[in-house]
Every structure is written in structure tokens, then in C-alpha cells.
Amino acid sequence: MKNILCLNKIAAIGTDKLDRAEYNVGTDVQNPDAILVRSAAMHDMTFGPELQAIGRAGAGVNNIPVDRCSKEGIVVFNTPGANANGVKELAVCALMLASRDVVGGVKWAESLAGTEGVAKAVEDGKKKFAGVEVMGKTLGVIGLGAIGGMVANIAVRLGMKVVGCDPFLSVDAAWNINHNVVKAASYEEVFKVADYITLHVPSTPQTKGMINAESLAGMKDGIRIINLARADLVNSVDIKAALASGKVASYVTDFPTEDTVGVPGIVTIPHLGASTAESEDNCAVMAVMEIDEFLRYGNIKNSVNFPNVSMPMSGDKRLCVFHANIPNMLSQITAVLAEAGVNIENMINKSKGDNAYTMVDVTGDVSANAVAKLNAVDGIVKVRVI
């Protein structure tokens, strides 16, 4: 019986896919083999030696100590693309909110409750909330992954000119992008030509604060900025100064903070990007399936700290070896197994950054002594036998 701890409410459509004859799933599970999480903060948690994996029902993993997990041989999964449609639809809404003062207009119209001559007042006052149309304008998309690519495509269908930049764009993602989307060589190239900018990149040391006084200076006057990705991509002090000067016409963010709520020109959405029933269901199902496949067979898909590795089981036992991405590791692994008289049926090895993962299918059993010798090899983090 494998134990799976849910730190947040995970949609039942996902957890119901786990065979309860094999899995003990709940919010009070002790000594978990895996953890399912959405937004709960995990940086202060201590992980037991039995923990094999963490499944994040969502894309961002800022709430998970990924580096520590890598050092302990814990695979961190996320669910890229599962909530993409929900965020894409909110991005369309954000485009309209950035273009026309719908929020201000609605609040003003509601203030007329209980007064006479509402229709006339509306006709007289609506000009205060007039805006612009998106058709014919240029949208700059920063990040063309699962969400950014969908936003770029729908913007084309809205009649916008679209220019995007993504230094890490995969071949598969590129195939899904409308041919009318112009690929820019740099973020600065996008900033220079865009009437609107929408951010769809993770928060990293390279992207944190990427919208700041310097980058804003390279944009058109009256730029409209949308941030449904992460709050710290935008320097709040600099964006408020740019709004006050007129450099920025509007800023729509899905991450209200003390610095941004109630500021003229800023529309703060209460983190609704992936908050749809469909997105939560999709994320739950994907996260559960990733965890199930890994715990059963050791296969990895959509990990943020270890490579994607998968192969059919062809032996009696499977060794899952987490190790540093350094020379001579495979020869040391096979040498230990040869010394123990273990016959290798099949093997696969891949790496991701500093981390590598090797699966070895073997004939017969693997002794505890052989596993101990593997764990003693310098560079090997953890060995798991399935």
C-alpha cells in the first residue's frame, strides 16, 4: 500500500483514478510516498526517506523546495498545459479590461442605484470610461509555451498583429503557433513595437522584475501591460510611476498585492487564471497520472527537476537510480550490478541540468547488499527498486 498525502483539496476526478487497493489517499496520511499539492507552502516541510515524488496540480512550483528535492532524489512533477485554456480565456478578458475601463464603468453605474434618470446619466457619463479596440493593434507575447502560444493564436483571430519571444521555445510548441505570429529575437524587440504586452513566463532570477523602469523606457508611450503569470515579474514601484506619468495606459494583473490594489490604472484580478472547474479537474487528473506512473513503473513525465524518462518494463525488477550528471556514472552502476551477478535486460539514462536518472531492468532479484553498494557510489543520490 502506497501513501499519498493531499496538502490541498485535489479534485476527486483525479484522486478517484487511483486504485484504493494500492493507494491510501487523504489529507492526514502519514509517511507519504508521494504528495499532491496545489498552493500549500512546502519550503519549511521536512520530508521523510520514503517520499518519492511531489505532484503539483498546476504549472508553477514556487511553493516547492525544488533544489532540496533534487538533492534528496524526490521527483517534482507539474502539469503544464492542463490549465492553459482557462488562463487563455482570462487573457482575452484582460485584453478588454486593459483597453476599456469596464471595471470603473461598472462601479460607476452601480453607484447610480436609487437615483432617478439613470439612463440619461449613463449617456452623459459614459465618455469617462471610453477606451480603444484591440483590432489592428500589436500584441507582444513574452513566453510562447502552452499558455502564451494559445494567447498568441487567439489574438491573431481577434485581428491583432502578434509578435512573440521565447528563448526556450520547444519544437513541439512552435508547431502549434499560428504562422502569422512574428518571432522576435529578444524581449527588447517585442517591447519596442508592442501596443500591448502579455507575460507568460515563470518567475526565475532572469525574469523577476523584467518589467521595470529600464524596460518600460524602451516601450511605446501608452503601453498596456497584462500579467497573468507571476506578480514579481513586474516591479510595482516602477509600474506605478509609469502609470502616473502616462507612459503606461493600464496594467492588468492576476496578483493583487499591497502595492497594487486600489491604484488608478491598475486592474487587480483575484488570481483567477486557472480557477475554473475544468482547469482544476485537468490539473488533478494529470498530476495523479504522473504520480501513479512513477510510483508503479518509475517512468517520469513533466518533472521540473529530473528528465523525462520512460520505457516498458522488461525484467523481473527495475532499479531507478537518481544521480549527478557527471562522467563515469553508468559504468559504475553496471560494475556494481555485474559484481553482484545481476543480468541487465534493458537500460535507459537521461539528464536534465545537474541531475540524471537511470532505469535498469534486471533478471532476478537485486540484493540489499547490491543496493547499498550503489548508494555508496559517489554521485548517486538514491536508488529505488520496483
Please list the active-site residues: 230, 258, 271
C-alpha cell of residue 321: 537510480
Tell how strand 343-352 and strand 355-363 pair up.
antiparallel
Q: Which residue has the cell 502564451?
A: 148
By the 10 Å C-beta count (0-12 exposed, 13-18 middle, 19+ buried), 204 is classed as: exposed
Amino acid at 132: V
Q: Report which of 220, 259, 214 is spatially closest to residue 236, judged by C-alpha positions.
A: 259
110: Cβ contacts below 8 Å, ≥ 6 apart: none
Q: Cα(first)–Cα(last) distance of the chain, in Å?
A: 13
Closest listed residue to residue 300, CA positions, set 55, 89, 82, 3: 55
C-alpha grid cell for residue 300? 517520469
Query: What number of other Cβ atoms are within 10 A of residue 6's Cβ?
Result: 23
**φ and ψ of 12, to 5 deg:** -60, -30
Please give the grid coordinates belonging to residue 139.
Answer: 500584441
Query: CA–CA separation, 8 vs 137, rounded Å?
Result: 41
